[in-house]
């Protein structure tokens, strides 16, 4: 199998698998005061320190959750009933969170947030929260978050950055960015599925989504997923130590894009002329639906996706691509190729060779 869908979920790092399985063999609730509980709590606090160090914040500002969706929902629900802005390329966790107050900030054809319009929207009426996705999951486009944060703060709004696809791919600095909240997910960086966290700057108390025990300083009730949290901490540490890997992936990305656009008709790359992370390609192959492309690649045991994984299975044009000005037809003819920490040069070569053959055959 050639797995090129790392933005959906990436291979768990072997070091994280070892740690998670070792901890799962132990007993202990992180909230218990006896020695088993203290051992569990030690794993959680170590992970909190690893993540805080990786994103440059204090451990006390990191709250563990079950996934980034939960992190995002917690933050958005904290602002329920208040005016919220979000870019037009946000994840469903934001768009479909049920906030009727959500207003959409447009993006340019390159997939970059339109900062002038954002400022005009902020000028128009008081705003509680702005949401920006740091790196887009479908295109890999990197947003100018520092500028966006400055503008939001100029108008008294707080700002949440969905940094799920940024962590481990580009440097993420919570403190220096000035963001008020950032969300993260373990399984996008080589940790286990079902764990996430958010970082917060203490400007407004969080309204917890989960009500019950006093875990996570009363901000997220429920017995902590000790093994998963420990796996996330270690995976984040390793991913950040190996961040240069994305420079190599960027050369392979360019190679794929150059070779395919030269050899095949009707290929366009979305967000090509703008800063992007090294691992992601959003490729439109005009007049061939992504369902057909994905099925044919799958027959060759190559895994890619169309749009975001969360909406695959549903033939709906991606809102990210249509926000960038693609027609519905072009959006439905777009696949996402996303490499990861264990992608090899051979995977890349085989993908180029097999994809070329498939498209040539379908074009006949
Ligand atoms: N935000 C972005 C940018 C994502 O790519 C994803 C996952 O697809 C999420 C949020 C949700 O993450 P999780 O799977 O941890 O809920």
Instruction: Specify which residues 220 forms β-bridges with.
Output: none
CB-CB contact of 341 with 10 (8 Å): yes
Count of domains in the chain? 2
Q: Do residues 247 and 235 both lie within one domain? A: no
Residue whose CA is at the smallest distance from ligand 1 atom 13: 68
**Digit-coded pLDDT (tens) for 179-200:** 999 999 999 999 999 999 999 9
Residue 164, SS3 per DSSP: coil
Domain that holds residue 93: 14-241
Maximal CA-CA distance, the chain: 70
Q: Do residues 194 and 68 both lie within one domain? A: yes
Give the Å distance between the CA of 139 and the centre of ligand 1: 14
The per-residue pLDDT for 204 is 86
**Digit-coded pLDDT (tens) for 52-105:** 999 999 999 999 999 999 999 999 999 999 999 999 999 999 988 887 779 999
Give the Å distance between the CA of 116 and the centre of ligand 1: 27
Q: Do residues 34 and 163 both lie within one domain? A: yes
| CATH number of the domain encompassing residue 258 | 3.90.1150.10
Quote the CA–CA distance of 195 and 177 in Å, as a whole number.
Answer: 24
The per-residue pLDDT for 101 is 79
pTM for this predicted structure = 0.96
Residue whose CA is at the smallest distance from ligand 1 atom 8: 8
Q: Which of 6, 95, 137 should be mutated for ligand 1, with most atoms under 8 A from CB?
A: 137
Mean pLDDT lowest for which of 23-37, 108-122, 199-213?
Answer: 199-213
Told to judge if 310 belongs to the known catalytic residues of this protein, a careful annotator would answer yes
Q: Which of 66, 86, 91, 209 should be mutated for ligand 1, with most atoms under 8 A from CB?
A: 91
Give the Å distance between the CA of 67 and the centre of ligand 1: 8
What is the separation of C-alpha 69 from the centre of its chain, rounded to a whole number of angstroms? 10
Quote the CA–CA distance of 77 and 168 in Å, as a whole number.
Answer: 27
What Cα–Cα distance (Å) separates residue 229 from each residue in 12, 63, 74, 143? Answer: 13, 11, 18, 28
More confident residue, 278 or 313: 278
Question: Percentage of the chain surpassing pLDDT 70?
Answer: 98
Closest ligand 1 atom to the C-alpha of 71? Answer: 16
Q: Do residues 210 and 286 both lie within one domain? A: no
**Digit-coded pLDDT (tens) for 284-304:** 999 999 999 999 999 999 999
Give the Å distance between the CA of 196 and the centre of ligand 1: 9
pLDDT band at 19 (very low <50, low <70, confident <90, very high): very high
Closest ligand 1 atom to the C-alpha of 186? Answer: 15
Residues sharing a CB contact under 8 Å with residue 133, sequence separation 6 or more, in sequence order: 87, 89, 90, 91, 143, 161, 162, 164, 165
- Choose the final residue of a domain: 206, 241, 276: 241
| CATH number of the domain encompassing residue 188 | 3.40.640.10
The catalytically annotated residue of 97, 197, 285, 310 is 310
Half-sphere exposure of 281 (CA within 13 A, CB side): 28
Give the Å distance between the CA of 164 and the centre of ligand 1: 6
Q: Do residues 95 and 71 both lie within one domain? A: yes
Q: Do residues 28 and 107 both lie within one domain? A: yes
Closest ligand 1 atom to the C-alpha of 136? Answer: 3
- Choose the final residue of a domain: 241, 267, 291: 241
The per-residue pLDDT for 119 is 98
Q: Which residues line ligand 1 (CB under 6 A)?
A: 67-69, 91, 93, 133, 137, 162, 164-165, 185, 196, 308, 310
**Digit-coded pLDDT (tens) for 242-265:** 999 999 999 999 999 999 999 999
Q: Do residues 203 and 329 both lie within one domain? A: no
**Digit-coded pLDDT (tens) for 328-359:** 999 999 999 999 999 999 999 999 999 999 99
Q: Do residues 113 and 141 both lie within one domain? A: yes
Q: Do residues 142 and 51 both lie within one domain? A: yes
Q: Do residues 53 and 199 both lie within one domain? A: yes
Give the Å distance between the CA of 199 and the centre of ligand 1: 15
- Choose the final residue of a domain: 207, 241, 275: 241
**Digit-coded pLDDT (tens) for 37-53:** 999 999 999 999 999 99
Residue whose CA is at the smallest distance from ligand 1 atom 12: 68
CB-CB contact of 226 with 28 (8 Å): yes
Q: Which of 64, 68, 97, 340 should be mutated for ligand 1, with most atoms under 8 A from CB?
A: 68
Q: Do residues 269 and 156 both lie within one domain? A: no
Q: Do residues 283 and 199 both lie within one domain? A: no
């Amino acid at each position: 199998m050639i797995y090129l869908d790392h933005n959906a979920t990436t291979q768990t790092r072997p070091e994280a698998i070892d740690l998670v399985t070792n901890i799962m063999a132990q007993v202990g609730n992180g909230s218990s005061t006896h020695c088993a509980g203290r051992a569990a709590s030690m794993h959680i606090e170590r992970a909190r320190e690893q993540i805080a160090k990786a994103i440059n914040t204090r451990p006390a500002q990191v709250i563990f959750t079950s996934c980034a969706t939960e992190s995002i929902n917690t933050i958005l629900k904290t602002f329920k009933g208040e005016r919220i802005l979000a870019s037009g390329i946000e994840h469903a966790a934001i768009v479909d969170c049920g906030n009727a107050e959500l207003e959409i900030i447009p993006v340019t054809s390159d997939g970059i947030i339109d900062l002038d319009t954002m400022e005009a929207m902020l000028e128009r009426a008081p705003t509680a929260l702005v949401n920006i996705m740091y790196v887009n999951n479908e295109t890999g486009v990197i947003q100018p978050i520092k500028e966006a944060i400055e503008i939001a703060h100029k108008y008294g709004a707080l700002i949440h950055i969905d940094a799920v696809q940024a962590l481990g791919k580009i440097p993420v600095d919570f403190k220096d960015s000035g963001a008020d909240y950032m969300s993260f997910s373990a399984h996008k960086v080589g940790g286990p599925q079902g764990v996430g966290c958010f970082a917060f700057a203490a400007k407004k108390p969080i309204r917890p989504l989960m009500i019950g025990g006093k875990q996570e300083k009363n901000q997220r009730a429920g017995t902590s997923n000790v093994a998963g949290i420990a796996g996330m901490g270690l995976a984040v540490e390793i991913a950040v130590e190996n961040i240069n890997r994305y420079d190599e992936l960027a050369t392979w990305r360019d190679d794929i894009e150059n070779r395919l656009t030269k050899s095949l008709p009707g290929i366009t790359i979305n967000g090509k002329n703008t800063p992007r992370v090294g691992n992601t390609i959003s490729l439109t192959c005009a007049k061939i639906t992504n369902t057909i492309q994905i099925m044919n690649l799958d027959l060759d045991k190559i895994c890619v996706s169309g749009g975001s994984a969360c909406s695959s299975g549903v033939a709906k044009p991606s809102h990210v691509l249509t926000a960038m000005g693609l027609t519905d037809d072009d959006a439905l003819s777009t696949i996402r190729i996303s490499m990861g920490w264990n992608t090899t040069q051979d995977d890349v070569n085989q993908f180029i060779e097999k994809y070329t053959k498939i498209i040539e055959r379908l074009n006949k």
